[in-house]
Structure 1
Amino acid sequence: MKWAMMVVVLAMMIVGSACSNKKPTPPPAAPPPPPAPAPTATITANPNTVNAGQPTTLTWQTTNATDVTIDVLGSVDPNGSKQVTPVESTTYHLVAKGSGGTQDATARVTVSGGGASQPDEISLSDQQAFAKYVKDIYYDYDAYTVRAADQAVLQANANFFKQHPNIHFTIEGHCDERGSTEYNLALGDNRASAAKNAIVQAGIPASSVRTISYGKEKPFCTESNEQCWQQNRRAHFVISK
């Protein structure tokens, strides 16, 4: 009987040792967090057609955005409205950024009338002087802020136009080949408007300046490299006929 009890105790010890050496099953891995929701953005202008000198109201709404900007206005609240008085037809470009990405939207305001005078006859010497002294400015990729290095160029252009008040001119907005046609048309419009705003602030009458956007449709250089793209990201000055 004593030997039987010892056998039972020894068997229990072996079973207990085997159980204690068994590794526990790890818990299942936690699922990855869901991706951040992408921002949404809308902007409207009411009315979207005005006569020169009349205001319009921009109204915008965004979701899932922490940084919202509108050209000309700069940083704005995620949702809001503001009255503006554009001096010419303008595309207002809104960019909403958040942890889930970037979304943009545009609103076009068409300005009619204004009574701008027709340019006087421009002499050949004025045209030659324009070609010699009026310079284009260039922009960084996907941007329309006038760079510090180009501020002096615009000031020199303004000084020339002050000395030649009979010259009316157009500022063309151009982009490189990347991005959609619609996006680059809006970006080119913003670039031309930024150059015009700087010229007007330097003392040139707004009625002397027209703007137009060609987006990526009229490149100055057709190679697909950064050196060429930089040449195409510009505000180009031409005499208005």
Structure 2
Amino acid sequence: MSLLRLLQVPVSAATRDFALALMFSTVLILSGCGGHKTEVNAVPAAPAPTPPVASIEASPATVIAGEKIELTWKTLNATQVRIEPLGVAEANGSMTLAPTDSTSYRLIATGPGGTQESVATVTVEPLALNPAKAEEFFAKQGGRQDVFFDMDEYSVRADQQSTISNDVKLLHEHPYLRVLIEGHCDESGSAEYNLALGESRATAVKEMLVSAGIEAARIETITYGKERPFCKESSDQCWKQNRRAHIVPLVEKASIE
């Protein structure tokens, strides 16, 4: 049965010629010019972009306020890299930081293949109101804790200026720190006399720190007179060690109360 009859199209010369041409074209498309089956190869789809890779680490992960950490990160397949809360970063790198509060550092790597994140958390522990721990921390940071005095004197000797300068530098580097200056004396003289002398020694050191740019609000003083001797032997060498102002680092009151 002819195509024209199937389609119920009235047969005319023009209609017949059109139908023959259509059939011939269809045969060419299906069989190729030589009348043989021709395979059509599909164009392969473009591969999906490779997703970014991101990793970040902080060492050590737990520190005392003011201690330094090393932050290290690596990325791949990223065109934009950020570290929150620090800002734009290189694809790979490291930096030294001294966080004063517990902080999560979020690495965000973005590229044609999407976005990948990685987080490193640093726990910052406040310095406890514990003399042993406080003094250990102060020494570790390079602080010098004792300013020595001559007998019955409260003026700071020239050979003690380097201690003051060292502690001024440390306090500028760690602005969250406060200090308590203890005034101490040897065992000679009355308790009342030594309490007053100890207060004068502590005040003298405070005034030098303030004159070097340390805020007075960050410095407290207390006198112990001869009540808490560092050395308990009855000798001139031992008494020299007790004539001192002792500097103890603290944190903000809100952190230690």
TM-score normalised according to structure 1 size: 0.48
TM-score normalised according to structure 2 size: 0.45
